Amino acid sequence: MPTPATRDRLVAAAQELFAAQGVGATSPRQVLAASGVGQGSLYHHFPAKHDLAVAAVSATADQALAAALQELSGDSPALGRVLAYLERPRDALAGCRVGRLTSDQAVMDDDDLRATVRTFFDRLVATVAEVLTEAGVPPDDATDRAHAAVAVVQGGYVLARATGDPQAMRAAVRGFVTLLDPTTRDRPDDEESL
């Protein structure tokens, strides 16, 4: 009988395959094989590929947003929380699991999947803007800088993948961080948590 654990295994397998090869290139058959569950369970939980894609893309976006919101919340100084988000160690060569979906035609052509990606970025940018406002940045500037912060991370992934060098992302983040908070230029190298 299908169980919640079976559904979770299907979603997790789809998330990994989507990250490795894209949504459009992933078949339900591949997800079935990677998950190790029975064929009946797949069609019980996800009658159509679209249902599975929505569940897996939503799970990926939820996990990515939760990680960012954890860094951006709390009682520590606001600007430091934005730096924690920017400087989080990332698997730069793998690319952003959410950001890369914007280049996946199967995602962009699907209203539900596109809405999931949009909501992720809307909430991420809005939260960074709130924290920058809390740090004393005027609201209009905070919104622009929040867009810039999220863009630097996304573009950092593009640069790292393009050059095959994770340091390209670190340089991009460092270049933005030292402008956003000039006091960071005086940090010893070993405090750069990148």
Which chain residues interact with its own copies by CB under 8 A?
21-22, 25, 95, 98-105, 108, 114, 117-118, 120-122, 125, 141, 143-156, 158-159, 161-164, 168-169, 171-176, 178-180, 185
CB of 154 to its own copies, least distance (A): 3
Of 30 and 102, CB closest to its own copies:
102
CB of 178 to its own copies, least distance (A): 7
Of 28 and 156, CB closest to its own copies:
156
Residue 77, by phi and psi: left (phi above 0), alpha (psi -120 to 50) or beta? Answer: beta
Of 74 and 118, CB closest to its own copies:
118
3-state helix, strand, coil in the chain (%, to 5): 80, 0, 20
Query: If we measure between CA atoms, which residue out of 40, 33, 38 comes closest to residue 16?
Result: 33
Of 11 and 19, CB closest to its own copies:
19
CB of 124 to its own copies, least distance (A): 10
DSSP 83-133: HHHHHS---GGG--TTGGGGG-HHHHT-HHHHHHHHHHHHHHHHHHHHHHH
